[in-house]
Amino acid sequence: MSKVSLNTAAKLAGVSKSTISKAIKSGILSHSGLTTAGYQIDISELSRVYPAALANIEPVASQSSGPIADASGLAHTNQLLMQQLEAAEERQRRTDAMFEDIREDRDRWRQQAAALLSDQRTRPASQTGEYEGETALSASPAPGFWLRLLGRS
pLDDT at res. 49: 84
pLDDT by residue (tens digit) across 89-141? 999 999 999 999 999 999 999 999 988 888 755 565 555 555 555 555 556 77
pLDDT at res. 69: 53
CB-based contacts of 91, cutoff 8 Å, min separation 6: none
Could you give the C-alpha distances from 103 to 11, 45, 70, 98, 109, in angstroms and in order? 61, 52, 50, 9, 10
Could you give the C-alpha distances from 117 to 33, 63, 84, 112, 124, in angstroms and in order? 78, 78, 49, 9, 18
pLDDT by residue (tens digit) across 33-78? 777 778 888 888 888 888 765 565 655 544 454 555 567 778 888 8
